[in-house]
């Protein structure tokens, strides 16, 4: 079975998130779109060191200061439209944190005119990624704490992301963060940034 999902788009000038291109559908055949969602975890080096557990799911990339709630999102008529700028979103039909049978997709907005959940994943002016191999992605759920380790990052033209087989491949223990890679000229984002990470540890909640 091949995955399909939807890619996070740039923001409109009216400061509202644009709808994502095409949406996820768990079907056989070639992927037909991209993905959306991402969020924060505890302030400690490891999520299991947190004194009090959050009620919901959070994601954090401590190396770049990303911290956010992770909320579920479902495709709406073949599209994903993350409703907020500062939350991350996990595509509900796909893998859940710690999944042993699917890739987990967390996507969120970036924006060149204000705060957005995944702004810190890249340097817009330098046009370089800020996340590097070995950085941790911490995902905390009511059931467990998960530590993923970044393996690589890659930019994809937005129009080609839906056809990138390596993105939508079904890989147990894999987490992908997806956002727009904003250009340095204030124009509309033409690329998506994908952060590839693999599960290192899973610690059940105390």
Q: In the numeric block, which tokens belong to residue 61?
A: 């990339």
What pLDDT score was predicted for residue 186? 65
CA 102 from chain centre, in angstroms, equals 15
| Contact partners, residue 84, CB within 8 Å, separation at least 6 | 17
Residue whose tokens read 């009216």: 14
Strands 57-61 and 174-181, bridge-based pairing:
unpaired
By C-alpha distance, which of 178, 136, 174 is closest to 153? 178
Q: Do residues 174 and 137 make contact, with C-beta atoms less than 8 angstroms apart?
A: no
What pLDDT score was predicted for residue 79? 62
- Coil/strand/helix, residue 179: strand
What backbone phi and psi angles, to 5 degrees, belong to 159?
A: -75, -20
| Contact partners, residue 126, CB within 8 Å, separation at least 6 | none
Residue 197: strand pairing partners? 150, 175
Q: In the numeric block, which tokens belong to residue 168?
A: 């939508």
Q: What is the dihedral of CA 155, 157, 161, 164, to 10 degrees?
A: -70
According to CATH, the superfamily of the domain at 47-204 is Sortase (2.40.260.10)
Question: What is the chain's alpha carbon radius of gyration, rounded to the nearest angstrom?
Answer: 15
Low-confidence ranges of the chain (pLDDT < 70): 1-54, 75, 77-81, 183-187
Element (H, E) at 176: strand 174-181
Q: Do residues 72 and 95 make contact, with C-beta atoms less than 8 angstroms apart?
A: no
What pLDDT score was predicted for residue 53? 65
Say if pTM beats, i.e. exceeds, 0.95.
no
What is the residue extent of each domain of the chain? 47-204
Q: Is the dihedral of CA 155, 159, 162, 164 positive or negative?
A: negative
């Amino acid at each position: 079975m091949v995955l399909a999902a939807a890619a996070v788009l740039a923001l409109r000038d009216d400061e509202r998130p644009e709808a994502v291109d095409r949406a996820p559908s768990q079907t056989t055949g070639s992927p037909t779109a991209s993905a959306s969602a991402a969020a924060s975890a505890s302030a400690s080096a490891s999520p299991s060191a947190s004194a009090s557990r959050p009620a919901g799911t959070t994601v954090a990339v401590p190396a770049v200061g990303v911290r956010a709630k992770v909320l579920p999102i479902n495709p709406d008529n073949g599209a994903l439209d993350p409703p907020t700028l500062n939350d991350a979103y996990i595509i509900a039909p796909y893998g859940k944190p710690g999944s042993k049978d699917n890739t987990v997709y967390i996507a969120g907005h970036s924006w060149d005119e204000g705060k957005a959940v995944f702004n810190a994943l890249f340097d817009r002016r330098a046009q370089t990624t800020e996340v590097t191999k070995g950085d941790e992605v911490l995902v905390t759920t009511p059931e467990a704490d998960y530590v993923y380790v970044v393996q690589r990052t890659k930019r994809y033209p937005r129009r080609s992301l839906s056809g990138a087989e390596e993105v939508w491949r079904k890989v147990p223990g894999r987490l992908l963060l997806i956002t727009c890679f904003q250009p340095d000229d204030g124009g509309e984002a033409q690329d998506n940034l994908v952060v590839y990470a693999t599960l290192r540890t899973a610690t059940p909640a105390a």
